Homo-oligomer: A and B are copies of this chain.
Amino acid sequence: MATPKLETRIRQEQILQAALEVIGEEGVQGLSVARVAAKVGVVPSALYRHFPSKEAIIDGLLEMVGRNLKAFVQESCATASDAPDCLHRLLVRHLQFLKDHPAIPRLVFSEEVIATHPGHRQRIREVVEGYLDDVADRIRAGQQNGSLRGDLDAAALARLFLGLIQPAVILWSVSDGEFDLDRHGREVWAMYQDLVRPPSGNTSSE
């Protein structure tokens, strides 16, 4: 027993972190109990002291991702001057996050995880729809204070916002880092901004 004992709470965090690293390196398909255990520095069966099953680990990851997305929206908009600025910060943050931690979108948009287990599908549904709802709320607020054009459906605009990010995920995955995320962000943001700009010039009415 070279490995010191640690509390379950700490181990759970370590396990989730290790699982994310494995997904980043080997893909969702490569996520095995053995590999996660090796990264934690522990024997595979030790993981069962902290999670009842591999499915529970994946569920823990999805829950974590959901919390992170919620925090992203809040933090991006807390420091923003108006709704367009909030959305812009959120987009930039997402693209940067994609660059730093490609494992997360891989996990959320992974058909594999969805199809394997009904519980995962439900969890991903909560994460994606929760995110879209948060974004739509911010859009609605912007529409009400006049910083965003008011005649477009907020939920549909939120889906379109997600559509600024998703193509970047696949192109980034597929291109071995050649795809220019920053440029993509600038280009699609210019278009989105153009679309949601209120008709008159009062972009920051209070």
Contacts and interface: CB of A to CB of B under 8 A. Distances in A.
Contact of A27 (B30, B116, B129, B171): B116
Nearest to A184: B159
A49 B29 CA distance: 27
Given A29-B112, A110-B110, A160 B174 contact: no
Contact of A195 (B110, B166, B175, B195): B195
Interface in A173-206: 173-176, 184, 187-188, 190-191, 194-195
Interface residues of A, number: 44
Contact of A166 (B129, B167, B176, B194): B167
Contacts of A187: 153, 156, 159
A157 B106 contact: no
Contacts of A110: 110-112
A164 interface: yes
A175 B109 CA distance: 13
Contacts of A106: 111, 115
A40 interface: no
A56 interface: no
Contacts of A64: none
Given A26-B115, A162-B166, A166-B167, 20 more contacts: A28-B111, A29-B115, A29-B116, A112-B112, A114-B173, A114-B174, A128-B171, A128-B174, A129-B174, A152-B190, A152-B191, A159-B168, A159-B171, A160-B164, A160-B191, A163-B163, A163-B164, A163-B165, A166-B170, A195-B195
A101 to B, nearest CB: 14
A125 interface: yes
A162 B167 contact: yes
